Structure 1
Amino acid sequence: MIHPILLCGGSGTRLWPLSRKSYPKQFVPLTGEETLFQASAARLSGEGFAPPLVLTNSDFRFIVTEQLAGAGIDPGAVLIEPAGRNTAPAVLAAALWLEKQDPEALMLVAPSDHVVPDAAAFRAAVTAGEAAARAGQLVTFGIKPDRAETGYGYLELAEDPGDFTPRPIGLKRFVEKPDAQTAAQMLASGNFLWNAGIFLFAVKTILAAFRAHAPDLLAPVQAAVDQGQPDLGFFRLEPAAWQEAADISIDYAVMEKAENLSVVPFAGGWSDLGGWDAVWRESGPDGNGVVTSGPATAIDCADSLLRSEGEGLELVGIGLENIIAVAMPDAVLVAAADRAQDVKRAVAALKEKQAKQATEFPMDHRPWGWFESLAVGERFQVKRIHVHPGAALSLQSHHHRSEHWIVVEGTAKVTVDGSEKLVSENQSVYIPLGAVHRMENPGKVPMVLIEVQTGSYLGEDDIIRYEDVYARGQGAKG
């Protein structure tokens, strides 16, 4: 049995404005109906695979379980990282967790934001590496390059991959992201593959590698696992111990120092969607090199991506060449296609000017559903709130605002200062400032309401929680 380990904590700033810190690219349907996270979980499921073990942060924990449920996949453990510490501590925590169940188990470590169009071919590559992993090899997967890419690290093979039949081949060395000339030379040689950052190994093998090459990580990560606490269906790693772990990648901590390495070549197609240029490439440009998504129209355009992410937000491009244009209700990106990797500079600039668009997604996802702001003024805000069937917001009050709720779909069960009533479509209710209140959806269909807030302060941190079925603490999200 192979245990998939899905790493799910990145922020994906190079795909801003669609990917932001509060809702990164792995949770977004970028190239199809499924999100990247759902597609990754589906790719690593089925016969021979255990339920996925997911490592994520506190803000994403309910998104993870909701999206797995939407894909029809039962999760294994969901480990909550108290802070981002890169891939080495995350992989080590997963190994220590699995060691308690089966030290002989195989781990398949994969990012949750990659695209692999041929899932069956990838599973065949995993099967090809299984014997080597059971024999004590650290198996990585190398992607057949189709261009002289400077944005990826490379793997130099000890022998020619030939026809790219999946099989373990010796690894000569890791190569950092090259310049354009070096990348062209490596592409021509045929012995260099892209490093996909996907690994297959036995629990006991990777733990031995950490003991040999990164021993300083063992004590803090072991303590974080041993002293962690269950939280509903999740497991929170202990924060103080976790903070002591170095922020380092699995490549730097272990892989570049180890000698028991093998590479399985893979030619079935792969992308890390590391920029809008990659999204354009993976979306299948038409004969003019144009990709449109959502309510977008291209007139006499070439080699361009036009993407609208807003309902009723029409994006029109005329005479564009080599342009990326992505429109959202609160932010618009227009960039030369060859500057796609510079989008992270835009995010940095927005952070510096304290623009909320740098990190906050316009649709705020919560365990009970989501909300979005429709209009904001000096002393008012209008929101659309979507509550899943059977879900409930916390029992709460506010110091600085009152609220009016108008139900537009479904039925809401509303509690105000201990009094309960059902509010149906086209009915409304008033929540006075300071009132202890709760909203629930008792039905089997989504409930949608319009909320009008009025008051001197309308921030999300003006919430005092008294009860919460999702066991969140105080603060905006808890």
Structure 2
Amino acid sequence: MKLILLSGGSGTRLWPLSNDSRAKQFLKVLRNENTGQLESMVQRVYRQLSEVVAAEDMIIATNTSQVDMLRNQLGDVSIVVEPERRDTFPAIALACAYLSSKLGMKENEVVGVVSVDAFVDVAFYQKVKELEQLVIETNAEIGLLGIKPTYPSSKYGYLIPKDYSEYMRVESFVEKPTEDTAEELIANEAYWNSGVFAFPLGLILSRLVEMQFSIDYEILRTEFSRLPKNSFDYEVVEHLDHIVALTYEGYWKDLGTWNTLTEEMSERVIGNGGLSEDSIDTHIVNELDLPVKVLGISNAVIAVSADGILVTDKPASSRMKDMLHVGLFSRPMFEERRWGWYRVLDYTKKENQEILTKRLCIKKGKNLSYQYHNHRSEIWTVISGNALFMQDGETRSVSPGEVLQIPVGSKHSLFGIEDTEIIEVQMGDAVIEEDIVRLEYKWEEIKTNI
């Protein structure tokens, strides 16, 4: 079985820690029970899946803005990059074309699909592996995984069983019913739809051919914007007749809001913060150096990042999506990249000049791309670590306290001998990410001489 991990979507309900490039699955707020270190949802899911599926059998479907963060958190994993966000059907279709044309997977082999933001035990992913055998033995069009409901939720879809013996044959689906309807469905032995799929690769390849799309990965990427912007459930699953499902009665939770996420956090305070004794069931997540103190406030979340500050009682946190149009920054203020991370410290505009100040960390053994800018100059101040600085073909070592001048058009890069932090001040008529011209240059030869 090849497994597709879906890691699309943008950060909305978990603002301000999540943003357009750092979605909820990248927030390091969960405690790894083995190492004791904080980890993100995607790190947890990938670690758990690695106990069930070989690393070479997993690929991650994501969008361009998340590639660096995935590399930063998971290392050198297989990634299929969607040219744009277009929901789960286009993402899965493109990944299936990759499995076929790039990896040579046969049409009768089974593909599994899981999301990277569920909070489960390893037993859940063992059930996913069992779906492969069920699909083969029953010759089903698709296999699903149903979760035994613990309460009548209006946020999940439901699987309605036709009959049930060793496995379930699925009669129909009900998407996000009212709580009253959900109670009736549960009374009739309906299950939550976990969003896990297992199907022969040929199911999607034949569907693409019917829709007059190419099944060649490279060609389909050029056609990607024409694929229906629709969920996999609506576009594929609900049109099938022979659907089977396994059921899972273990722990399963969608950590989609601050309310549900904080239930799985082992610490009530992450970062610089403090709670009074009468602040019951309140959580602080603070990514800044400024202290945050909370007195006498219970059942609340206080989240602080460079993107902003959120103060909410936990039940109200699910309404975060409704507030995202109000006064948010147009650019992410914090991002992880494959070379490290950056945080925006300040932005001002005077007359026709913009000034953007960032703090960057270039990790040991990593480097910024060799690049130049047409619309801005930069001043770098090294504040910690040791690095190699290349400018217009000349390379030298730099250490804390040094100030580096980078005029408009000057080619430059930085390689971290150690974890190295710099303060970067950008000045020009346009301080935007698009004003980066990257050049071909490999650091390998210089690295071997360090």
Give the TM interval when normalised to the shorter protein.
0.7 to 0.9
Q: Structure 1 108/469 Cα, relative in aligned 2: closer, same or farther at 3 Å?
A: farther
Q: Structure 1 448/112 Cα, relative in aligned 2: closer, same or farther at 3 Å?
A: same
Which residue of structure 1 aligns with residue 447 of structure 2? none
Whether 1:40 aligns to 2:14 is: no
Which residue of structure 2 aligns with residue 261 of structure 1? 243
Which residue of structure 2 aligns with residue 434 of structure 1? 408
| Gaps in structure 1 of 5+ consecutive residues | 162-166, 228-236, 286-290, 471-478
User: 1:279: Cα distance to partner?
Assistant: 0.9
Asked if 2 retains the 8 angstrom alpha-carbon contact of 1:128 and 1:168, the reply is: no
Number of aligned positions between the proteins:
427
**Stretch of structure 1 that moved more, 264-273 or 332-341:** 332-341
Whether 1:293 aligns to 2:291 is: no
Task: Pick the aligned partner of 1:402 from 377, 383, 391.
Answer: 377
Q: What letter is aligned with 1:131?
A: Q
Q: Structure 1 398/92 Cα, relative in aligned 2: closer, same or farther at 3 Å?
A: closer
Which residue of structure 1 aligns with residue 339 of structure 2? 368
Asked if 2 retains the 8 angstrom alpha-carbon contact of 1:108 and 1:200, the reply is: yes
Q: What letter is aligned with 2:357?
A: V
Whether 1:203 aligns to 2:178 is: no
TM-score with structure 1 length normalisation?
A: 0.81
User: 1:148: Cα distance to partner?
Assistant: 1.8
| Gaps in structure 2 of 5+ consecutive residues | 32-37, 444-450
Whole-Å separation in 2 of the counterparts to 1:339 and 1:180: 18
Whole-Å separation in 2 of the counterparts to 1:13 and 1:342: 10
Once the two structures are superposed, residues 108-130 of structure 1 have per-residue CA deviations (whole angstroms, 9 ceiling, x without a partner) of: 101112211x11x1133124323
User: 1:48: Cα distance to partner?
Assistant: 4.8
Query: How many percent of aligned residue pairs carry the same amino acid?
Result: 28
* CA RMSD of superposed structures (Å): 2.7
Asked if 2 retains the 8 angstrom alpha-carbon contact of 1:412 and 1:441, the reply is: yes
Whole-Å separation in 1 of the counterparts to 2:164 and 2:15: 39
User: 1:302: Cα distance to partner?
Assistant: 6.1
Asked if 1 retains the 8 angstrom alpha-carbon contact of 2:282 and 2:298, the reply is: no
Asked if 2 retains the 8 angstrom alpha-carbon contact of 1:414 and 1:423, the reply is: yes
**Stretch of structure 1 that moved more, 256-265 or 177-186:** 177-186
Which residue of structure 1 aligns with residue 89 of structure 2? 88
TM alignment of 1:140-179, pairs within 5 A: 140-159=144-163, 167-179=166-178
Whether 1:61 aligns to 2:37 is: no
Whole-Å separation in 1 of the counterparts to 2:428 and 2:132: 61
Q: Structure 1 451/127 Cα, relative in aligned 2: closer, same or farther at 3 Å?
A: closer
TM-score with structure 2 length normalisation?
A: 0.86
Whole-Å separation in 1 of the counterparts to 2:160 and 2:2: 27
Local SS of the residue matching 1:349: coil
Q: What letter is aligned with 1:11?
A: S
Q: Structure 1 346/425 Cα, relative in aligned 2: closer, same or farther at 3 Å?
A: same
Which residue of structure 1 aligns with residue 80 of structure 2? 79
Which residue of structure 1 aligns with residue 329 of structure 2? 356
Local SS of the residue matching 2:247: strand
Once the two structures are superposed, residues 61-97 of structure 1 have per-residue CA deviations (whole angstroms, 9 ceiling, x without a partner) of: 232233222xxxx534x21111122111222222233
Q: Structure 1 97/448 Cα, relative in aligned 2: closer, same or farther at 3 Å?
A: same
User: 1:159: Cα distance to partner?
Assistant: 4.3
Q: What letter is aligned with 1:66?
A: N
Whether 1:448 aligns to 2:449 is: no
Whole-Å separation in 2 of the counterparts to 1:348 and 1:382: 25
**Stretch of structure 1 that moved more, 82-91 or 302-311:** 302-311
Q: What letter is aligned with 2:410?
A: V
Whole-Å separation in 1 of the counterparts to 2:93 and 2:346: 45
Task: Pick the aligned partner of 2:221 from 238, 244, 253.
Answer: 238
User: 1:191: Cα distance to partner?
Assistant: 0.7
Whole-Å separation in 2 of the counterparts to 1:338 and 1:439: 47
Whether 1:280 aligns to 2:262 is: yes
Q: What letter is aligned with 2:306?
A: P
